[in-house]
Structure 1
Amino acid sequence: MFKLTAGQLNDRAHAVSLLEKTDLTDINVIANRAYGTHEIRTHIKENGGHYTIPPKANAKQPWKADWWLYKERHLIECYFNKLKHFRHIATRFDKLAESFLAFVQVATIFLLTK
């Protein structure tokens, strides 16, 4: 599921609205430290999910994170790296957000069928 946001906007502002569209029952959400807000973690727990989000270094009440499972996040990083091999996406040729998102979806289909 994709949600395209403005480049200057923090992605975490839309995280809960995106998670609301997903059935989180017995799902483990793996995310980086930026998504470790109380609101996001609470939403995941209340909807029957689990999270693997490391706490920020300055967290007042740090929680435990499964670092071995967190390392699986590299799969997402590799996906975005492959997407950026498409020059059209890396340089953001499209002026309209809908066109850009459509090309990202086409590139994703191409990568999945490769």
Structure 2
Amino acid sequence: KALVADKGYDSWRLVDLIARTGGCANIPTRRHVKNKRVVPPELYRERNRIERFFCRLKQFRRAATRFDKLARNYMATLNLASLRIWLRHVESTP
């Protein structure tokens, strides 16, 4: 229903395509564009959290370079890496 992206995906063609399919584009406009779109800050913060998670996930070499040939093995690798990231987060919170 809602697509949240960064300024790199700011194009009216993409926004129109999302609107035609029944979604809502939450993409901030680049600074040189005259017609600015309003993006809820809470929604954009969530996008940032997800992007930071994927950056952490790429630190696991096996997941980033996709050594596994089978999809089920690759998903298992992603699950283990995600679990490790989550456990680090849980341990660091008081």
- TM-score, normalised with respect to structure 1: 0.56
1:108 to 59, 69, 78: 78
2:45 maps to a residue whose letter is K
Residue 29 of structure 1 aligns to a residue in which SS? strand
Counterpart Cα distance in 1 of 2:34 and 2:74: 38
Aligned counterparts, 1:15-34, within 5 A: 27-34=1-8
1:41 maps to a residue whose letter is V
The residue aligned with 1:52 is 26
- TM-score, normalised with respect to structure 2: 0.66
**Higher Cα Rg: structure 1 or 2?**
2
Q: 1:93 to 1:43 in 2, by over 3 A?
A: closer
Counterpart Cα distance in 2 of 1:34 and 1:64: 16
Residue 17 of structure 2 aligns to a residue in which SS? helix
Percent sequence identity is 27
How far residue 104 of structure 1 moved from its aligned partner, in angstroms, is 5.7
Which 5+ residue runs of structure 1 have no aligned equivalent? 1-26
2:39 to 65, 73, 93: 65
1:33 maps to a residue whose letter is K
How far residue 34 of structure 1 moved from its aligned partner, in angstroms, is 0.8
CA RMSD of aligned residues (A): 2.9
Instruction: Give CA-to-partner distance per residue, 1:43-77, whole Å, 9 cap, x none.
Output: 11111111211100111322222122211112321
